Amino acid sequence: MKIELTPAASKSIADERAFYQKKAAPEISDRFLTAVRQALALIEQHPAIGKKSNIQNSSLGEVRQLALNQYPYAVFYRCEKNRTLILDVIHGARDAERKLMQP
């Protein structure tokens, strides 16, 4: 199923990558991006791979999440009829529901 990223997801990935590049090292930033790409590939091949999220907001529909390997982030997404919509990539310490509800 085709993967589409929301603007929020694209921004989060870019922001976190920039954070790792500035605070850690370019190699860490590159590994973060690789982990995101691997998660997206898994979701594309197996949309039901992520666990159902605890998010209880009907406007979001059924949200699933898949943790990134070696990073404290998860990809939050929704399976739709003709696509899988990547809602955001969120750090585990953040309030995912609140972040997903931000405009």
- Residue 102 inside a domain? The answer is no
Tell me the C-alpha distance between 67 and 75, whole Å: 6
The CATH number for 38's domain is 3.30.2310.20
pLDDT digits (tens, 9 = 90+) for 50-83: 999 988 777 888 999 999 999 999 999 999 999 9
- What is the model's pLDDT at position 54? 87
How large a percentage of the chain has pLDDT more than 70?
Answer: 99
- Residue 100 inside a domain? The answer is no
Question: To the nearest whole number, what is the mean pLDDT of the chain?
Answer: 93
Tell me the C-alpha distance between 66 and 53, whole Å: 9
Question: Domain limits at 58?
Answer: 2-92
- According to DSSP, the β-strands at 51-52 and 2-5 are unpaired
Answering whether pTM is above 0.75, one says yes
Number of structural domains found in the chain: 1
- Residue 97 inside a domain? The answer is no
- Residue 12 inside a domain? The answer is yes
- Residue 53 inside a domain? The answer is yes
Q: What angle do CA 93, 94, 98 make, to 5 degrees?
A: 155
70: region left, alpha or beta (phi > 0 left; psi from -120 to 50 alpha): left
